[in-house]
Amino acid sequence: MIIEKVITNINDMESEELKKRHIEKVYLESGHLVKRIQRLKTDHNREIGIRLRDPKDLMAGDVLYMDDKNMIIVDVMPDDLLIIRPRSLKEMGTIAHQLGNRHLPAQFEDNEMLVQYDYLVEELLEDLGIPYAREKRKVKEAFRHIGHSHE
């Protein structure tokens, strides 16, 4: 089976629609959400190929296949993350500036900044006294490096 487009996302579906279908999952590392061509196996050992026509990243919950009884969805494996919880705007600005200088991609959930684990960033957070935790957590989308040059 070759998948060429994402049908929908389970977050956009009615719960009754979800309940009437058997769900198979493909588990991806967050870094693989950006790949438009890949070969995968579902948790039921079914092989599928993905060859997305549109230049759009996959997201957790994306529906790759659906019929009246079954569906295949994307799930994301947990990443090793630093969860940064600044107590003030000053702390947020300080750490955002430091991480921006390193071109480190970040995501935001509620009042938390999420970055992939890096021991140097952990040391920086310790030195600056900014609260953080190291956790395994699923992210909804891939961490994207933003291209930039200092010319």
**What's residue 146's pLDDT?**
56
**What's residue 150's pLDDT?**
44
pTM, 2 dp: 0.73
Q: DSSP assignment, residue 91?
A: H
**C-alpha to C-alpha distance for 66 and 113, rounded to whole angstroms:** 34
* Tens digits of residue pLDDT in 71-117: 999 999 999 999 999 999 999 999 999 988 888 888 898 889 999 99
Domains of the chain: 2-76 (2.60.260.20), 79-137 (3.30.70.790)
147 band by pLDDT with thresholds 50, 70 and 90? low
**C-alpha to C-alpha distance for 139 and 105, rounded to whole angstroms:** 13
* Tens digits of residue pLDDT in 11-32: 998 888 888 999 999 999 888 9
